[in-house]
Structure 1
Amino acid sequence: MSVAEVMKKKINEELSPEKLVLEDESYMHAGHAGANPQGESHFNLLIVSDKFEGVSRVQRQRMVYDILADELKDRVHALSLRTLTLKEYKSA
């Protein structure tokens, strides 16, 4: 299973998102520190979940970092997060 597939599976299991978009942006960082020639080292992630309701932005990011701790220790060098409730997403 690819790193992206593992990440999506974990997020779906833990946060039951209404919307989940995971973009591998590794190609944009080729040759930079932390870039893996095989890809799957730099990601942009949008998660829309009601589990973020009443939770601060920092706490939301910590939730995601905890869920993806193994991937962040090993293969993932950079992760850009956008964490929203459904209401926030609809009004954005």
Structure 2
Amino acid sequence: MIQERIEQKLQAALSPTYLEVRNESYMHNVPEGAESHFKVIVVSHEFEGQRLIGRHRAINTVLADELANHIHALAMHTYTPEEWQTQQSAPASPACLGGSKFD
């Protein structure tokens, strides 16, 4: 299962204090049961002192195989523990605008 693999890899690489991986494929024009669209919320001390681009690059590196072969879309919300204390939630995902990974 792709979702479990994402969780395991992010847990091992970033030691997050909070990690949420949501399979949002059902919100998109994909076959039933697909695992292709994900949202991750990662809170980690590893992000301290990093700009957003560095945080996203870290996740892209950890999930390089999945992004190349299995994941069509990945929404990333990355926070330090201090940022998360004031935030406590990630933005809602936008509605699907159509399209398919099979287009």
The answer for the alignment partner of 2:70 in structure 1 is 75
The answer for the alignment partner of 1:4 in structure 2 is 3
The answer for the alignment partner of 1:17 in structure 2 is 16
Cα deviation, 1:33-78, whole Å, max 9, x if unaligned, reads xx45441100011000000000000110000000000000011000
Q: Cα RMSD between the aligned structures?
A: 1.0
* Cα distance between partner residues in 1 of 2:23 and 2:31: 12
Count of paired positions = 87
* Cα distance between partner residues in 2 of 1:36 and 1:54: 40
Instruction: From the superposition, tell whether residues 36 and 73 of structure 1 become closer, same or farther in structure 2 (CA, over 3 Å).
Output: farther
1:43 aligns with 2:35: no
The answer for the alignment partner of 1:55 in structure 2 is 50
Identity over aligned pairs, percent = 38
Gaps of 5+ in 2: 88-103
The answer for the alignment partner of 2:91 in structure 1 is none
Report the TM-score when normalising by structure 1: 0.90
Gaps of 5+ in 1: none
What letter matches 1:25 in structure 2?
E
Report the TM-score when normalising by structure 2: 0.81
